[in-house]
């Protein structure tokens, strides 16, 4: 089969790789759609590498190339001999992380036992930690990592259940955080600021409005007018940081109270420069974005002076359904099926085949009209 292989920073090639083996408890999936994520971009540009050796040091791409792609859906073409609840022809999406149930381990590690599956002691993540991702013709996955896709859901949208699962997990952590300002307590969160109106920011906005039913102020800050227009349509109050002074806008719109919950959904180090002037003392900062390169993060000192609560979610972590499948992904899928969260409006770029992936990573991420790209592979 063919795969898009990242052999060094900013250097991706499409080449033949061995077909995946299909162990007894796994299935072989022909990839139909794979999302291009900001995490893929960080790895591609060499700003992030989560493929660590036994001593916790990143393994260079020149030593171990990677196949990216952790947001995906596809069609099962082969099942392992112990798989009884899936069959060839089923359309599925996947939790890309391998946990204790994925590996058939008993007893469960303490993290899987507590429902923190993406912190599993034996965790591995396809497309991120060195396991081959879905920017390929096919991928082998544990059957328990797979959820069946409704017949009416396009493959491109099914692939984006993964980022929604991540936002679902983040929303769960917010609900449990021992913070001064909460959604249900006193004092209550009334003012939210989302940094970034890319896919993550737009998903957070919809989850706040349509899942959590938050009716307070949700500011969305970005530099891109097209993204901000969509944020407004989805219930946010846009602030174009290239035209408005963010601190002044926050003071005006919150009547001087500032922000009770700030969500970093963009991974820009500039967020930490803005926070001291917009976050309320003992407010909550949810750090979702990654890759804060290009700044001396000693600027955190001014943020820490506010004594904030930090909430740092990783992946679509969560518990397991009775069939050992990932609860968070199932909830995210149900949220999308119910129409509470829409992803179609921000899929702005469609790529046809593995050979087009580099266009997204090398060129399109910086385009003013780009929000989200999805690679759709031929069914042939």
Q: 296: domain CATH number?
A: 3.40.50.720
In a domain, 325, yes or no: no
Going by their DSSP bridges, the two strands 372-376 and 11-16 should be labelled as unpaired
| Dist CA 246 CA 377 (whole Å) | 41
In a domain, 24, yes or no: yes
- Strands of 237-240's sheet, edge to edge? 237-240, 217-222, 191-195, 259-264, 279-287, 309-311
End position of a domain, from candidates 294, 311, 328: 311
Same domain, 139 and 182: no
Residue 379's pLDDT band, with cuts at 50, 70 and 90, is low
In a domain, 331, yes or no: no
pLDDT over threshold 60, residue 380:
no
- Write a three-state SS string for the chain: CEEEEEEECCEEEEEECCCCCCCCCEEEEEEEEEEECHHHHHHHHCCCCCCECCCCCECCCCCCCECCCCCEEEEEEEECCCCCCCCCCCEEEECCEECHHHHCCCCCCHHHHCCCHHHCCCCEEECCCCECCCCECEEEEEHHHEEECCCCCCHHHHHCHHHHHHHHHHHHHHHHCCCCCECCCCCECCEEEEECCCHHHHHHHHHHHHHCCCCCEEEEEECCHHHHHHHHHCCCEEEECCCCCHHHHHHHHCCCCCEEEEEECCCCCHHHHHHHHHEEEEEEEEECCCCCCCCCHHHHHHHHCCCCEEECCCCCCCCECCCCCEHHHHHHHHHHHCCCCCCHHHEEEEEECHHHHHHHHHCHHHCCCCCEEEEECCCC
For residue 237, with 0-12 CB atoms within 10 Å meaning exposed, 13-18 middle and 19 or more buried, which class applies?
A: middle
pLDDT over threshold 70, residue 346:
yes
End position of a domain, from candidates 291, 311, 331: 311
Q: 22: domain CATH number?
A: 3.90.180.10
Same domain, 124 and 187: no
The predicted model gives 178-205 an average pLDDT of 97
The predicted model gives 254-275 an average pLDDT of 94
pLDDT over threshold 80, residue 378:
no
Number of domains within the chain: 2
Same domain, 182 and 138: no
Residue 252's pLDDT band, with cuts at 50, 70 and 90, is very high
In a domain, 124, yes or no: yes
User: Among positive and negative, which fits the CA dihedral 329, 332, 337, 343?
Assistant: negative
In a domain, 81, yes or no: yes
End position of a domain, from candidates 311, 335, 355: 311
The pLDDT tens digits of the residues spanning 35-54 come to: 999 999 999 999 889 999 99
For residue 73, list its beta bridge partners: 33, 93
In a domain, 214, yes or no: yes
Mean pLDDT of all residues belonging to the chain? 95
How confident is the model at residue 136, as a pLDDT?
98
Same domain, 306 and 200: yes
Same domain, 135 and 222: no
How confident is the model at residue 95, as a pLDDT?
98
Same domain, 137 and 192: no
Same domain, 233 and 131: no
Same domain, 212 and 353: no
Same domain, 182 and 153: no
Give me the residue label for tokens 């992904």. 329
In a domain, 335, yes or no: no
In a domain, 329, yes or no: no
User: Among positive and negative, which fits the CA dihedral 74, 36, 292, 273?
Assistant: negative
Same domain, 150 and 27: yes
Full domain range(s) for residue 250 = 177-311
The predicted model gives 186-190 an average pLDDT of 97
Same domain, 248 and 301: yes
The predicted model gives 125-143 an average pLDDT of 98
Cβ neighbors of 301 (< 8 A, separation 6 or more) are none
Same domain, 209 and 154: no
């Amino acid at each position: 089969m063919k795969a898009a292989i990242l052999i060094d920073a900013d250097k991706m090639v499409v080449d033949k790789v061995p077909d995946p083996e299909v162990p007894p408890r796994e299935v072989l999936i022909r990839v139909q759609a794979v999302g291009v994520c900001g995490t893929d971009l960080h790895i591609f540009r060499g700003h992030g590498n989560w493929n660590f050796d036994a001593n916790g040091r990143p393994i260079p791409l020149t030593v171990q190339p990677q196949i990216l792609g952790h947001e995906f859906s596809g069609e099962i073409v082969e099942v392992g001999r112990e798989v009884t609840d899936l069959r060839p022809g089923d359309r599925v999406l996947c939790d890309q992380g391998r946990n204790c149930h994925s590996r058939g381990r008993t007893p469960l590690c303490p993290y899987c036992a507590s429902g923190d599956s993406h912190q599993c002691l034996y965790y591995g993540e396809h497309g991120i930690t060195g396991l081959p991702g879905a920017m390929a013709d096919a991928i082998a996955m544990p059957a328990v990592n797979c959820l069946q896709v409704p017949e009416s859901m396009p493959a491109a949208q099914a692939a984006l259940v993964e980022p929604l699962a991540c936002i679902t997990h983040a929303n769960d952590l917010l609900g449990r955080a021992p913070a001064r300002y909460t959604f249900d307590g006193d004092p209550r969160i009334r003012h939210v600021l989302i940094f970034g109106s890319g896919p993550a920011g737009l998903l957070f906005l919809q989850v706040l409005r349509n899942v959590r039913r938050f009716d307070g102020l949700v500011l969305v800050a970005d530099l891109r007018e097209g993204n901000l227009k969509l944020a407004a349509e989805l219930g946010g109050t846009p602030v174009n940081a290239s035209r408005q002074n963010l601190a002044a806008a926050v003071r005006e719109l919150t009547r001087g109270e500032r922000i009770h919950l700030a969500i970093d959904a963009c991974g820009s180090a500039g967020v930490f420069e803005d926070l001291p002037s917009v976050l309320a003392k003992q407010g909550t900062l949810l750090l979702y974005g990654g890759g804060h390169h290009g700044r001396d993060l000693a600027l955190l000192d001014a943020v820490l002076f506010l004594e904030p609560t930090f909430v740092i979610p990783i992946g679509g972590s969560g518990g397991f359904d009775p069939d050992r499948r990932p609860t968070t992904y199932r909830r995210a899928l149900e949220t999308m099926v119910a129409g509470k969260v829409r992803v179609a409006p921000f899929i702005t770029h469609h790529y046809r085949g593995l050979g087009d992936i580099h266009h997204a990573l090398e060129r399109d991420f910086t385009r003013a009209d780009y929000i989200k790209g999805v690679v759709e592979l031929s069914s042939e």
